[in-house]
Structure 1
Amino acid sequence: MADTAVENLSFDQLRDQVEGIRERVNSLRTRLARYFVQKQELIDLMTICTIAQEPLLIVGPPGTAKSDVVTKYCQALGLGEGEYFEYMLTKFTEPSELIGPIDLGRLKDGAYVRKVEGKLPTARIAFLDEIFKSNSAILNTLLTIINERKFYQDGRPVPVRLAMLFAATNIVPEFEELAALRDRFALKVESTPVKDQHMDALLEKGVSNELNKALNRRPWADLCSIEDFVALRRYLFLMMAGVGERAKKDEDQSSAVIQDRKRYFPDEVFDLFKRILRTLERENRVVVSDRKFIKLYQLIRARALLFHGGAVRRDDLVLLRYVGDRNEDFPILREKVDALLRLG
């Protein structure tokens, strides 16, 4: 089913399908993890962020399977030709390398149009390695694509097909000029080396993956589709908008959102969510912008829908482990959030 068709499905139509879709997506996240060592946490975040269509930043040194996890994840979705785009950025990367070269034939006619086939604007999922090495021209282009899902052709905004952006970096730089890009990643997760603690398992999985590559085998392929994620997102957003069996026809949008929050994000858990965020801001200098707060709410709702199909539970708040903006935040916030969740 094409994503445009999915986006036109009604709440009732999606409700009839949602359990089967959840089963497929959950199967993807558990089965894909079998091909790696200690990457279940990363793959879980990838699936959650894809449902919410919120970009995910993967942080770790070279050789920790960052790109391999993303590649196999996209193969598990059965993406077609041109639906996956990946690129490693440098300070010399030009916009044409990401969004396509200028069409010289059209330029002769006075039109400033890019050839976008096979580039970022036509991809459903993209992976940008070393994203913080992007220069100012790339930075502006990326912010527009991430924020508004559009780019410009001949001065006119054109929508992009991008459903999910994964990005990677060895470290998270603290330069002020990159603050806007950092903030676009509501969640940031580490991909850490596993050799010292899991050498035998690493050998088994690593060699098996090399053999699969040499023999052109992809046993992880086609576990579900990008349309499954689009459908879950639409179902979640329709539910959040009050388009459900308990919604009142004369209920305004704001009231519907509040009623949905009370039903699917119970007051006790919502209050804990707010307390943890305030504690992290006050004690750990974590910056949570207004935009980031809204994104975190949606991501937690996406996790609850995927993992147990219902209201947010206390354990869904583990996503707050990943709200830090600095490398040193990762181990500290993990310990802090887990402790706060135990205390309640």
Structure 2
Amino acid sequence: MTTTVHAQLQQLRTSLMTRFPERRDAIDGALAAVLAGEHVLLLGPPGTAKSALVRAIAQAFGGTYFERLLTKFSTPEELFGPISLKALEQDRYQRVTAGKLPEAEFAFVDEVFKANSAILNSLLTAMNERLFHNDGAPTQMPLVALFGASNELPEGKELEALFDRFLLRFDVQYLLRPSSFRSVLLAPEPGCSGALTMAQLRQAQADVARVKVTEETVQALIAIRDGCRAEGIVASDRRWKKTLKVVQATAYLAGEAATTPEDLLVLTHALWREPKEYAKVAHVVGQLADPVSAKAAEVLDAARETAARVAALRSSDRKSYLAQAAQALEEFTAQQAKLKGLANGAGPRAKQALGDADQEIAQLHYELARAVSVGLGLGGAR
């Protein structure tokens, strides 16, 4: 493992999480996908910083970047370049690809499922084989990773293959915590200066390929596959094969030279096809990969739901709001105690997950207590 490159990646991860609060899973997954040379889909409503996050990651590596918003009227020229008039004079149908997707190392296609049949085949080939056929001649593309974004899931069988090309899929929603919202309101527009060169990224990718996939990891992955099948969630053999590269990248980012079942937690974002399947996948993967981290995630999700429920009552009956808030504060305390109880026998990364969950619940507790004290006219902490 190249220590300097690994340290720079960790610095990049920390920087991204500071500028993009409540996006830990998407950031970790995106970095692992880049290291594995895989593609990422961000699903969610407009205004959730999907494009800003992708731009920040692409800029961090200093790679050539291409971005396009698709509509149902988009043409192949928008992604792959206009037809060369000089080539037409010589009876050749050749595109001018300068500044377009065929020459990009990182790409972001917003509203990607608006791709029509004229675009679809070339886009699929670009993502799967890194090839672009220009006047019949296959040209190798330098594409490292393509990020797609959409406000909705694809409709129609013709888009299923495109959906399948995105190995990792993240549901990105509006910020929940008031402190996160406040920091985004007051912070400058997120950006990123170059943190690594493309040569360093290639070195990191080579290091990832050398991470040993242990038999314990393989057995856990097989068990996860069986568990998902029992829940009616089926993925292609190709997808399972590709996930191992991301598992290796996850281990590399954690500073390990060999994988462990803990690294399989990233599969939570690789196996669902509809958001409603996410909870089932998370449960199956969590129980078999890292039960402690999975339980920490369940406790944290419950705390977030409680915070959201109480926040929705703030503008309603004052007495009802205060009663629900008091109950929520007790729940937060109980949840933190539960997290402390899970720490016994937990591994290093599980302890990190517990610590992160405890920190967020403590912040939710503080913010709600402050809101209650302000509502009671007590001023609140500053």
* TM interval, short-chain normalised: 0.7 to 0.9
Give the counterpart letter for 1:98 in structure 2.
Answer: L
- 3-state SS in 2 of match to 1:209: coil
RMSD: 1.9
Counterpart of 2:287 in structure 1 is 339
Total equivalences in the alignment: 291
Q: Which has the larger radius of gyration?
A: 2
Counterpart CA distance in 2 for 1:67 and 1:206 is 17
Quote the Cα distance in structure 2 between the aligned partners of 1:310 and 1:342. 19
Taking the TM superposition and a 5 Å limit, the aligned residue runs for 1:47-126 are: 47-79=31-63, 83-126=64-107
Structure 1, unmatched stretches of 5+, are: 1-14, 213-217, 241-263
- Is residue 107–residue 146 contact of structure 2 (8 Å, CA) maintained in 1? yes
**TM-score for both structures, normalised by structure 1:** 0.80
Residue 236 of structure 2 is matched in structure 1 by 289
Residue of structure 2 equivalent to 1:313: 260
Matched residue type, 1:119: K
**Matching residue of 1:144:** 125
SS of 2:67 mapped into structure 1: strand
Counterpart of 1:189 in structure 2 is 170
1:87 is paired with a residue whose SS is: strand
- In the alignment, what sits opposite 1:325? 273
CA distance in 1, matches of 2:152, 2:283: 20
Cα deviation per residue 1:171-212 (whole Å; 9 max; x = unaligned)? Answer: 222532222112111211111211xx31232122233124x7
Displacement after TM superposition at 1:343 (Å): 5.4
- Assess if the C-alpha contact under 8 Å between 1:35 and 1:209 holds in 2: no
SS at match of 2:139: strand
Correspondence list, 1:1-344, <5 A: 18-79=2-63, 83-194=64-175, 197-210=176-189, 218=191, 220-237=192-209, 239=210, 264-283=212-231, 285-322=232-269, 323-342=271-290
Q: Give the Å deviation of 1:85.
A: 0.4
Partner residue, 2:302: none
> Which residue of structure 2 aligns with residue 4 of structure 1?
none
Taking CA–CA contacts closer than 8 Å with sequence separation of 6 or more, which of the two structures ends up with the larger relative contact order?
Answer: 1
Contact 1:37 1:201 in 2 (8 A): yes
| TM superposition score normalised by structure 2 | 0.72
- CA distance in structure 1 between the aligned counterparts of 2:135 and 2:16, rounded to whole angstroms: 42
Q: Which runs of 4+ in 1 moved over 4 A?
A: none
- Aligned sequence identity (%): 34
**CA distance in structure 2 between the partners assigned to 1:320 and 1:144 by the alignment:** 24
Indicate the structure with greater helix content: 2
Deviations 1:250-283 (A, max 9, x none): xxxxxxxxxxxxxx23222321111112211221
Structure 1 contact 77–224 (Cα < 8 Å) conserved: yes
| CA distance, structure 1, for counterparts of residue 185 and residue 51 of structure 2 | 14
1:236 offset after TM fit, Å? Answer: 3.2
The SS at the match of 2:32 is helix
Ranges in structure 2 where 5+ consecutive residues have no aligned partner: 293-382
- TM-superposed CA distance for 1:340, in Å, is 3.5
SS at match of 2:28: helix
Which residue type is aligned with residue 62 of structure 1? Answer: P
Post-superposition offset of 1:126: 0.1
